[in-house]
Amino acid sequence: MMAVLWGRRAARLGRGLWPCGRPGLPAEEGTLGGLRGPRRSSSASPREQDQDRRKDWGHVELLEVLQARVRQLQAESVSEVTVNRVDVARLPEHGSGDGGCQPPTKVQTGAEGTTPVLFVHWAKKLDKDKRIREMRRQRLEKQLQRQAQNPGFTSELKRLYVEPRLLSKQLTTCLQGCVQEAPGSPWEEQLARVLQEAPRKLSLDKKQGQQLKTRLTSRQQKILAFLKCCLLTGHQSLAHHLLVTYHSKGKSQSLLTLDMYNTVMLGWARQGAFRELLYVFIMVKDAGFSPDLVSYAAALQCMGRQDPDVGTIERCLKQMSQEGLKLQEIFTAVPLCEAERAAVLKAVLKAKPTFKVPERLLSPVNTSKLLRDVYAKDGPVSYPKLHLPLKTLWDLFTQQLRVELASTVCVKSVEKPVAESKEVRHARETLKLLRLQWEKALLEALQETKDRLEREAHRGLPSMFPFLCLLDEQEMVRMLLQALQALPTQGESFMGLARDLGARTFGRHEVQRQQFSGQVEALKRHYRRYLHLLASDTEVPEPCLPRQYWEALGVSEPPQEQPWPLLVQVELGRLLAEILVQATKMPSDLGKLRDTSRLVPLLYHVYSFRNVYQIGFLKPHPAYVQLLATAAEPTLTFEAVDVPMLCPPLPWTSPHTGAFLLSPTKLMRAVDGTTHHQRLLENCAPTALHGALDTLTQLGSCARRVNWRVLDLVLELFQDKGCPKLSVPARPSEVAPPHEAPLPPSTALVRKAELRRELARCLKEAREMHSLRAEALYRLSLAAHLRDRVFWLPHNMDFRGRTYPCPPHFNHLGNDLARALLEFAQGRPLGPHGLDWLKIHVVNLTGLKKREPLQVRRAFAEEVMGDILDSADHPMTGRKWWMDSEEPWQTLACCMEIAKAVRTSDPAAYVSHLPVHQDGSCNGLQHYAALGRDSVGAASVNLEPADVPQDVYSDVAAQVEVFRRQDARRDLRVAQVLEGFVTRKVVKQTVMTVVYGVTRYGGRLQIEKRLRELSDFPQEFLWEASHYLVRHVFRSLQEMFSGSRAIQHWLTESARLISHMGSAVEWVTPLGIPIIQPYHQEIKIKGRGGLQSVSYSVNADSSLKPNKLKQRNGFPPNFIHSLDSTHMMLTALHCYREGLTFVSVHDCFWTHAADVPIMNQVCREQFVRLHSQPILQDLSSFLISRFCCGSRPQKLSQHLEDIKLRETLLAVPKPGTFDLERVKLSTFFFS
């Protein structure tokens, strides 16, 4: 908020700093690249402290946005610009507020003949925009004149087409015969004749498109989404009309695909409308397509809903058989709901009474070498159960179901509440009245928009009309008002808001679709039976994994609705954002809410710059922002998917089924618009995903609770002034404001530049503080909301197989504070060694004894036991020993746990809920050393047993120091300056990230940042010193990890050659998860019209050319990430089989203190089993079979590239001599 408060002062200072005639930047209408993460609704806002009544800062800030725009145009030598002054809404205490509009202000800019060539583009663009607006105005005026002059003019909808116009004369004759049939004649007899008609000869392009199923164009995606949406909203005739319209036009017909025809046929089949279905069948033949399984499923379903002649069904089945289609596959390969399957079966049984539907078989057991023991029936199994009884779990399920049906969750904000003054009550009442007015205005605007778009659809245009009909109008308006509440005070990018509104609409529609289709009732029945596996007071006949138990219940997976194309989501969101902007207005005088004679917009559309791109922003009126600040409403509103679940998540059973009860969730999270990840998952064998599905289910089934003792202390700091040292952000008002003193005219340019940098630094710090404060507000508010509850965090994974919790704001993947707030809901007695592990854990968190053995760490904990107990008893008033820890809040939580344990009569019987961590020692280098059997590297990263832990970061720092001393003796100046500064901390980040693909440029920036933090380092040597150090860090790693660097080079070169041949790099993890790198050349998709034109980048579609640089640099780190995720999954599955509670943060594994020895044993065993597989050889074989051509290519250049790639892939680096079995004896491998 302080960034806004400084608007006036910063702008005044900026006017004194920026030189005149500053060159402008190239403009672009919008981009998706700058989108934020998941948005959340928030009505809580910090109250403003600045009450300057002489001049409203907010009004000045808004006016200066427009003035900056004028200065920008002025700098670009545009001849003349006219800007209307902004209507300013007055607050009640500011006067009567007649709010008169100021006359236009003309700004003369530039001189004749001085327009630089650089800015001609800007002027042309402005002229073009002006011409377009003028043409639209004239067109609208002509339309209104015709309506006024013609009393008989009406806006009735155009008649919908039913009969198509065909290109085939033979089919035209057949169609005429159908149309001339008397009412009540057997339409189904015509179907047999149509089926026997040979399709028109396909053109070469259409044949290739049908065989290869190439990517749909943007227009085709929009048409298909329109047709599917029409079926969902009951506008089947409108879908048929659009299909007929496009089919009847030669050029437009080329856009239609068999999937589009099938979509309309399925719609008519559900209604039993045989004549209309026959029309579509005729169009399929006329378009040159051959009906597929979906086409015949629609015909049989329609006949099942009628009472057709048996002969017609038999002819249909015979024709289907002649085309090589199997009847059984309709029931196994075509996605049909229960009612549709029943209708198809009814028709089939009439012609074939002995036909039997293929039985739904349980998926076979995964028999891979790595998972054989996980799914083995023999041997002891101790799958854990929850600590809650069946009745409690069922009550929690009903609560979660209500939450997801409502789509949102209201949470009380933990911001310090304001006093209930008269001013506050008045502001809240004003907001309440304004929202009632906005609700009415939004309803009217929504209805008008739907009427307009319906007329467009009747003219044969695939408009957004059916998408606006998916939700009830009241529900749509509530969603828009929630988006308005969530709008940040500094504004929101237009594209960001549009994308968010489109996604929210799809999510709410999916929930409602399941509710209205009866899936909710089926879910209740199956989930109650599923809870018998998890509840503490129930038993099942045979222990099994949750996924296996759910599948054994016979749960039939309903057809899944695919997410809308990004183009559709953005266009729908843009439309809704425009409705929000146009319908929400406020009185010019907030003291006269009933007076609607003078209204001003609530949201303003302005442009800003990010780097070189021009971004459209929606900014709330400053008076509205101030009204929100005064009201200080005490609630936050979150989307249901952004909040932890109140019951155990659904087990993952397929790539699109699992996690939340109703809300759609992807198994593999990906960039918006990406589809190839999902295609790979759906096309691979079901057993290949069992390891990933069961791991995600196991991670999500771990019950959590809030550590309320830590939460209370954090809230005390948060509501006071914060404490950045302890990761509790201060209020933005605590940030020092920039220098305000006016500058004399004689100020030197160097001084102006210095002040400009200071101003930018202050504003950047304020923005960062605001962001950190908001993040902490959401996390702490959710923690307080769940304070006395048990909750669960459903998980999914990224394209490399790394797992993440789905709720973004409150989970264990955050910083030290976020982790300290979470405990296991189910405790475990410490046992004989649990207290020792708590002591070791608290010392690990302090970071004080990293190079010492475990016995020394435990002894040190006993030495400082007084400080530990003092920290637990008096955290804010005692000696505060815990505050000097590397992880202070987790240290404090562990101190409290130790204090309670040692003060019990029997510490071994104390039930502990605190997670104890075991971290990998530079885990990426551990995997590289194991792959290459690198003995030297293995010893450096603790794969080799040792009495004390090895620290690779200190080893690298020591090696770099050797090089520095040698150079210093040669009188190299930078080496002499660095004396005493080559430390572990300086090189740690670079060493850690080299294995994950950091370049020398990135490593130099990391080292420069560390050196900048040293107050006594001469800052004038930053660039030279960082450049010197990064060179020697890479040199040291090359010498210490020669085998690892050879593997990294082989992976990099392989990816370079694959991408050069035009393919994205793919591979399969040792657990069978298919992976493809989503780095492709970027293309721009633009949509024009409305409030602003929008454009967004698409770079994750596999049909695009690969981005060679990203494919090459990304393969080594992504491959290693896929290995560490495989190791984590194997550890999780085996720990679950042993009955342990297990949670992970990538290469950091958590469990109860009593179970640490078992988890350590499993962790080491699974690492050895993983790397005992021929990983690099299997990777080489897969890449050769996938990317090397079996026969000689047509072109010589392709043949040479193929030979080079094959030679490279066959040249797998030879392994060293390290014995992997030694890892099992290494105490500090994970510690």
Which DSSP letter does residue 707 get? Answer: -
Paired with 603 in beta bridges are 620
With vertex at residue 327, the alpha carbon angle to CA 325 and CA 328, rounded to the nearest 5 degrees, is 115
Identify the active-site residue in 589, 934, 951, 1147: 1147
Are the C-beta atoms of 555 and 526 separated by less than 8 Å? yes
Are the C-beta atoms of 188 and 306 separated by less than 8 Å? yes
Q: Which residues lie closer than 8 Å to 207 by C-beta, 6 or more apart? A: none
- Measured distance CA(96)–CA(103) in Å, rounded: 20
**What 3-state DSSP class applies to 285?**
helix
Tell which residue, 582, 581, 569, has the closest CA to residue 464: 569
- Measured distance CA(961)–CA(339) in Å, rounded: 74
Burial of residue 994, with CB atoms counted within 10 A of its CB: 0-12 exposed, 13-18 middle, 19 or more buried: buried
Sign of CA dihedral 1114, 1117, 1120, 1124: negative
Are the C-beta atoms of 639 and 507 separated by less than 8 Å? yes
Q: Which residues lie closer than 8 Å to 561 by C-beta, 6 or more apart? A: 228, 232, 510, 513
Identify the active-site residue in 798, 867, 919, 967: 919
- Measured distance CA(732)–CA(765) in Å, rounded: 9
Calculate the alpha carbon distances from 31 to 396, 443, 494 in Å. Answer: 42, 30, 9
- Measured distance CA(953)–CA(986) in Å, rounded: 9
- Measured distance CA(857)–CA(853) in Å, rounded: 7
**What 3-state DSSP class applies to 604?**
strand
DSSP states along 395-423: HHHHHHHHHHHH-EEEEE--SPPPP--HH
3 state SS for 228-272: HHHHHHCCHHHHHHHHHHHHCCHHHHCCCCHHHHHHHHHHHHHHC
Identify the active-site residue in 222, 585, 988, 1110: 988
Annotated catalytic residue 1147: yes
Q: Tokens 């090359």 map to which residue? A: 1038
Are the C-beta atoms of 501 and 573 separated by less than 8 Å? yes
Instruction: Locate 1043 and state its tokens.
Output: 């085998």
Annotated catalytic residue 988: yes
Are the C-beta atoms of 1067 and 987 separated by less than 8 Å? no
Are the C-beta atoms of 1111 and 1183 separated by less than 8 Å? no
Calculate the alpha carbon distances from 110 to 23, 74, 969 in Å. Answer: 13, 7, 61
Sign of CA dihedral 655, 659, 664, 667: negative
Instruction: Locate 771 and state its tokens.
Output: 């962001």
- Measured distance CA(165)–CA(321) in Å, rounded: 29
With vertex at residue 563, the alpha carbon angle to CA 562 and CA 566, rounded to the nearest 5 degrees, is 135
**What 3-state DSSP class applies to 154?**
coil
- Measured distance CA(943)–CA(643) in Å, rounded: 39
Q: 3-state SS of the chain: helix, strand, coil percent to 5? A: 55, 10, 35
Annotated catalytic residue 919: yes
Q: Which amino acid is at 888?
A: P
Are the C-beta atoms of 443 and 431 separated by less than 8 Å? no
Instruction: Locate 65 and state its tokens.
Output: 């946005």
Beta strand ranges found along 1118-1165 (DSSP E) = 1143-1145, 1148-1151
Active-site residue set? 919, 988, 1147
